[in-house]
Amino acid sequence: MQHISQLAFASLLLLAPRTGFACSDLTPQVGQDAIAPAVASAGTPVTPPEARPVVELAICLDISGSMDGLIDSAKARLWSIVNDLATAKPVPQVRVALLTYGCDSYSSEAGWVVIDSELTEDLDLISKKLFALKTNGGTELVGRVVDKAARSLLWSTDPNALRIIVVAGNEAADQDSVVTYQVASKTSIERGILVNSIFCGSPTDPIAPAWGEVARLADGQFLCIDQSAGALVAESPFDKQLTELSASINTTYLWVGEAGLAACSNQMEQDANARGLSGGVAAQRASSKSSAIYDNRANDLVDGCAAGTMKLEDIKDEDLPADMKGKTLDEKKAILAAKQADRLRVQQEIQSLQVKREAYLVEEARKQAGATGITLDDALKQAIRTQATKKGMKFVSPPVALAPLKPEDC
């Protein structure tokens, strides 16, 4: 286990830009509650394609009254880790779950723990759940939430999958007398699940060592962070164009049925959420949407046909987008091919701009070396890269080099 100290909370999921495409062009309008069936595959363990390794992240956030900074940082930074994983070779299939704990309104019998989302490839769903979180003071049971994630989530059955629980909080990790963190960490590693622990406080705090033990017992990484320092995402001159391209890529989707319409609506909602945070967050989301990790095979004909989970000839006419209804099969195939070509073109434009954006941000960071310190964004990338490399994944670009630890940090 490696201890990385005093970092600014940053990364692990995905947020969003916007589209001018009207979801109502597809099928009759349905409410946002229909998003759940839009991820029908979320509750089913997956057997991944041989060429794509599986990376699964269960994010466990303390949402007690003092954790607003943690939630804000998660909203702003989680896309960054997904973008970094997208640079791995082979590109992994990424599934994310969200659990929250420490809320008074949760059941005491369940240890004040809730699974907000099962492991899913639908990153827009995770973003939606993140933006819905509200803090409410309560009892924070670290052992209980780690145990819940290890035992209750539908983890991949692939023996080579990289399974990681990330648990974050700022109270003592040893408050649970029913399921101690020692037992929970042991349960996790016995099931092949690593635990990365994030203490929102100083490494010199008397309660920090127990957080380190949570990770050590499950072969994970221990991180100490300033929960409020990672909510701002650096911006660049390329962000506006990337946000516009994010809107353009939305028009290449061929959403199927009411579940597809719900997914379309949520895609636009998360685009707006990202733009509302900053241009930098919207640009990060644009990059994520151009990668293979952003996968809508359950609801989009382009992704579904490419993945082999859909066949155009099997889709009922009434479930198709408006511009495909009433067409012959050959005409439908032509529309699909055109959308596939458009998708590829926009993805390539985004990826080209993202390279320029990263180069700009690296140069700006060099000019301000030492001004802000290492962010959790950088620390988690390095930690998960280390864990992913052990599973056979390779990264072309080097991770951010972390400053050596001082003895007093350990």
Q: Lowest-confidence range among 24-28, 74-78, 368-372, 374-378?
A: 24-28
Domain 2-29+42-226 carries which CATH code? 3.40.50.410
Q: Lowest-confidence range among 87-101, 126-140, 281-295, 347-361?
A: 126-140
Q: Phi and psi at residue 17, in whole multiples of 5°? A: -90, -165
Q: Phi and psi at residue 405, in whole multiples of 5°? A: -75, 145
> C-alpha angle 335/282/365, rounded to 5°?
130
Q: What is the pLDDT of residue 229?
A: 60
Per-chain mean pLDDT for the chain: 84
pLDDT confidence tier of residue 62, bands split at 50, 70 and 90? very high
Mean pLDDT of 206-234: 86
Q: What is the pLDDT of residue 372?
A: 54
Among 274, 240, 295, CA closest to 74: 274
Mean pLDDT of 114-121: 97
Q: Which residues contact 363 (CB under 8 A, 6 or more apart)?
A: none
- DSSP assignment of 392-404, as one string? T-EESSPPPPPPP
pLDDT confidence tier of residue 381, bands split at 50, 70 and 90? confident
- Structural domain boundaries of the chain? 2-29+42-226, 239-367
Pair 182, 214: CB distance under 8 Å: no
Contacts 24+ apart (CB under 8 A), 383-387: 383/2, 383/4, 383/196, 383/221, 383/223, 384/55, 384/81, 384/84, 384/85, 384/164, 384/196, 385/84, 386/2, 386/221, 387/162, 387/164, 387/194, 387/221
Taking the whole predicted model, whether its pTM rises above 0.75 is answered as yes
Pair 178, 111: CB distance under 8 Å: yes
pLDDT confidence tier of residue 371, bands split at 50, 70 and 90? low
Q: What is the pLDDT of residue 367?
A: 76
